[in-house]
Structure 1
Amino acid sequence: MTTENLIALSEDIERWAQDAAFRSSDDIPRLRRTPGWLPSFTPESVAERREQLAAFRSRLAEASVPEGDVAAAVDARLLGSVLDRVEWDLDVLRNWERDAVFLVGQIIGPWFDLLLPRPPFSADVERGLVTVAASIPERVALATRNLERAGVGDLARAAAVELEGIGERFAASIEGLAGVVTDDTLAQLRELATPAGDALAGFATWLSESAAAFAPSTPVGRERFVWFLRHVALIAEEPEDLVRAALQDYRRAVLAEMVTRNRYRDIEPAPIAESIEAQVERQIEQEAEVRAFSEAEGLLSQPDTLGRYHVAPMPAYLEPLRFLGVSDDLTDEDRLDVDGVSYMPHPEPELPYFYAANARDPRLGIIHEGAHYKQLALSWANPDPIRRRYIDSVANEGIAFYNEELMLLAGLFDDAPHSQEVVHNFNRLRSLRVVVDVSLATGAFTLEEAIDFFVRLVPMDVETAREECAMYLATPGLAMSYHVGKQQLLRLVTDAAVSQGTAFSLRALHDRVWQNGNVPFSLHRWEILGDRSDLDSIDAYAGSLPTA
């Protein structure tokens, strides 16, 4: 099979996934959906997915990659990872039948996702909103049947907390669309508000009352987690090595934060923005400043075709449902002419963790979420469609996390001492996420212990900690992606600099990695350095995937 055949297989997988893949609350856009799309999570639909997965596996197994064609071999590995992730989601995590937090996202997440791009909304989007709202009572009933069979208590309790006051909040989201959608659409949505809200509120009550009778949360276990590392994430390290590296970086970050705070102890922290309008205006200026800084310092090219990453006031229709995902629109490969945007609440002293940082210095968001936007926009312009569409959190989050410290070391925050302190605190958080992720996966932490761990050691507010830990319990491997990816990119940069000597260009390496920013770093090493050592270790793994 030629590379063209691999691309054809990728196109077929993409079309299938646009309909069959579950909705994700991750801030990295994974798939382009048709307005009105609803994820299916019935046992029958899962059985159909397994059949299609087997067919795709057969096609990939028949593929032949030309001898010595590393690029085609990388593409084949990416497709194998995609299919292994489907099996992981369906038969190991089984969130479609176990996880109430996940199912809440399948029920009302499409509503939230439709509202993320900035208005005006198309007629198709407005019809999609009506479709989603009308579907809620029936889909609550489907989710209830799944959870009656296989629900997990910790996740049911977490979902019940998320859904507190959900009837009123969903109605408020609808009312927030006044003047945004047509009068006819608004009237239809208002008629649907009560049945949808009642169904969601009843679901919350049922979850709270039923959680004690559900099964306890069970870790995926070390054996299956290693299978995930080798087959899905394409990581050669052992789980314990990842934790040790993260704890070492955590200690370094704690010291760096303390020393920075002491150094600038007589300087007052930057004030919170006086208004959301002032924050938006400052962010526009600083986004341009960061772009110019990256160019001037030779860190990353900023092509004229690359859009901008801005912030905007949190819309009234998103505010009540912020728990459903990250409130931003990082666009997609069909909208590269649209600027990325993150929605921010009005500045106030008691903002949650990340919002508070951005309200003091918008660059703290630009160097992470803005890095996501740039990396994705550059990757979506990649001429290889397989690399445009493959998404791996370790690569994506690793690049953004790496970019935080890169900008700090390069001097971006020389004028903002306390922002330096915050970057070190971000490092604390990202490093500790590895400990939480692996500990939840192996059963060393319960959900409540993980929340307490974050609150005490980051420190982090309970609301943010609960949202993060509930997602990590249900999706092992996601929380670790920030630190693990950063360490792998640091290793790649260091080895490239040493091996290439005076010919090494940091800008050229960054440009290549960002354009191929969805590709796991074990594959980058093979393409850029000719180093197959990670892949050889991965290939030597002989473990199977127990799903029982």
Structure 2
Amino acid sequence: MSIRPLRNAFVPLLSLAVLTLCSVTGITGWAAGTYNDLLGVYREFRALATPDVRDGVPDYTPAAMARQAQSLAALRARLDAIDDSAWPVSQRVDYMIVLAEMRGLEFQHRVIRPWERDPAFYSPTNLGFGPKMHGAFGVPELPLDAERVPILKAQLEAVPSVYAQARANLTDARGDLARLGIVQKRIERNVFNRLAQAAAQHHPELVAAAEAARDASAGFMTWLESIEATRPAHGGVSKDEYNWFLRNVMLFPYSWDELLTIGEREWQRSMVFLKLEEHRHRGIPMI
């Protein structure tokens, strides 16, 4: 049987449907949005998620964060106005990723607020663990190529200003997060001290900046030690908020309780396997 008669009958129906949709759109003023609109929203979101940087210091002041939250709400409204229901699956996946990222920044503003609650967030160095602010840099091994020396010098010179801003911004610091920050700053202080010693041999022009960064880190650590006992004890989020994060940001299908059950079952399974193997090889000495 030829499909041509079916195709010829379908085309007018499709045309009628398109004309009807266009008519409704013209009457209501509603616009579904395109994939290119999604890309535009995403580019604006990525730019918005990056804080302004002034003299090498990211701006996490209350005014800057309020502006970011306001702009985020406007971007979210534009994203919500895009109808992806008829898009290919691959493009709908992209839409969900953009939505999840926006929800993540919303969660930062609504729940976590690390710029005002978490002292360890103000980490100008990327030491490979813990939270860190935008622009955190890895401390390199010396000597450096000549073109990298002024870059590192500028990064080091910004460290004291980072901690000056942190003291003003941390209006709701929590005790447990402050203790983690103290540990982090102790490590960071030692890293800056070793950098200053190495710079004395390879790049003397870096010594003063490295020592100033070390002293700023040590001073911030001392400040945290002085306030830790006076702040609210706990900085964690509730189970309900964590479940919201899992489902709406991480896009997990499981709740906290379900993940805990899965983890316990996997641990039990691994222990059973271990005991079976130990029994199987019981005649062989343990390594």
Q: TM-score range by the shorter chain?
A: 0.7 to 0.9
CA distance in structure 1 between the aligned counterparts of 2:104 and 2:145, rounded to whole angstroms: 33
| Letter paired with 1:5 | D
Matched position secondary structure for 1:164: helix
Q: Which residue of 1 aligns with 2:211?
A: 194
Pair 1:7-2:39 in alignment = yes
Q: Which residue of 1 aligns with 2:251?
A: 234
Distance 1:249 1:133, change over 3 A: same
Q: Which residue of 1 aligns with 2:160?
A: 137
Distance 1:38 1:146, change over 3 A: closer
The equivalences for 1:106-185 within 5 A come to: 107-109=124-126, 110=135, 112-113=137-138, 115=140, 123=147, 125-147=148-170, 149-164=171-186, 166-176=188-198
Q: Which residue of 2 aligns with 1:248?
A: 265
Matched position secondary structure for 2:233: coil
Contact 1:90 1:96 in 2 (8 A): no
The equivalences for 1:451-462 within 5 A come to: none
CA distance in structure 2 between the aligned counterparts of 1:122 and 1:260, rounded to whole angstroms: 57
CA distance in structure 2 between the aligned counterparts of 1:172 and 1:84, rounded to whole angstroms: 40
The equivalences for 1:252-271 within 5 A come to: 252-260=269-277, 263=281, 265-266=284-285, 268=287
CA distance in structure 2 between the aligned counterparts of 1:166 and 1:245, rounded to whole angstroms: 37
CA distance in structure 2 between the aligned counterparts of 1:212 and 1:133, rounded to whole angstroms: 30
Q: 1:43 aligns with which of 48, 62, 74?
A: 62
Kindly provide the CA deviation profile for residues 288-336 of structure 1, in whole angstroms up to 9, marking residues without a partner as x.
xxxxxxxxxxxxxxxxxxxxxxxxxxxxxxxxxxxxxxxxxxxxxxxxx
Matched position secondary structure for 1:46: helix
The equivalences for 1:505-520 within 5 A come to: none
CA distance in structure 2 between the aligned counterparts of 1:8 and 1:246, rounded to whole angstroms: 40
Distance 1:37 1:261, change over 3 A: farther
How far did residue 168 of structure 1 move?
Answer: 4.0
How far did residue 247 of structure 1 move?
Answer: 0.7
Pair 1:20-2:45 in alignment = no
TM-score, structure 2 normalization: 0.73
Matched position secondary structure for 1:108: coil
| Letter paired with 1:188 | E
| Letter paired with 2:164 | A
Contact 1:20 1:40 in 2 (8 A): yes
Kindly provide the CA deviation profile for residues 348-404 of structure 1, in whole angstroms up to 9, marking residues without a partner as x.
xxxxxxxxxxxxxxxxxxxxxxxxxxxxxxxxxxxxxxxxxxxxxxxxxxxxxxxxx
Distance 1:64 1:202, change over 3 A: same
Contact 1:3 1:72 in 2 (8 A): yes
CA distance in structure 2 between the aligned counterparts of 1:7 and 1:68, rounded to whole angstroms: 14
Pair 1:96-2:115 in alignment = yes
How far did residue 52 of structure 1 move?
Answer: 2.1
Contact 1:167 1:201 in 2 (8 A): yes
Matched position secondary structure for 1:50: helix
How far did residue 226 of structure 1 move?
Answer: 2.2
Distance 1:162 1:120, change over 3 A: closer
| Letter paired with 1:41 | Y
CA distance in structure 1 between the aligned counterparts of 2:235 and 2:188, rounded to whole angstroms: 28
Contact 2:116 2:173 in 1 (8 A): yes
Kindly provide the CA deviation profile for residues 85-117 of structure 1, in whole angstroms up to 9, marking residues without a partner as x.
0011122011111112222x2x3334543649x
Contact 2:195 2:210 in 1 (8 A): no
| Percent pairwise identity | 25
Contact 2:173 2:231 in 1 (8 A): yes
The equivalences for 1:439-458 within 5 A come to: none
Contact 1:152 1:214 in 2 (8 A): yes
CA distance in structure 2 between the aligned counterparts of 1:122 and 1:94, rounded to whole angstroms: 39
Supply the RMSD in Å over aligned alpha carbons.
Answer: 3.0
| Letter paired with 1:142 | Q
CA distance in structure 2 between the aligned counterparts of 1:102 and 1:111, rounded to whole angstroms: 10
| Letter paired with 1:45 | A
TM-score, structure 1 normalization: 0.40
Flag structure 1 segments of 5+ consecutive residues without an equivalent: 22-33, 269-548
Structure 1, 126-135 or 240-249: larger mean CA deviation: 126-135
Pair 1:65-2:95 in alignment = no
Q: Which residue of 1 aligns with 2:228?
A: 211
CA distance in structure 2 between the aligned counterparts of 1:60 and 1:76, rounded to whole angstroms: 9
Flag structure 2 segments of 5+ consecutive residues without an equivalent: 1-32, 127-134
How far did residue 162 of structure 1 move?
Answer: 2.8
CA distance in structure 2 between the aligned counterparts of 1:41 and 1:121, rounded to whole angstroms: 32
Contact 1:133 1:196 in 2 (8 A): yes
Pair 1:80-2:103 in alignment = no
Q: Which residue of 1 aligns with 2:19?
A: none
Matched position secondary structure for 1:82: helix
Q: Which residue of 1 aligns with 2:27?
A: none
Contact 2:117 2:235 in 1 (8 A): no
The equivalences for 1:145-544 within 5 A come to: 145-147=168-170, 149-164=171-186, 166-176=188-198, 186-260=203-277, 263=281, 265-266=284-285, 268=287
Contact 2:114 2:121 in 1 (8 A): yes
Matched position secondary structure for 2:266: helix
| Letter paired with 1:48 | R
CA distance in structure 1 between the aligned counterparts of 2:274 and 2:150, rounded to whole angstroms: 50
Distance 1:7 1:139, change over 3 A: same
How far did residue 7 of structure 1 move?
Answer: 2.1
Distance 1:66 1:255, change over 3 A: closer
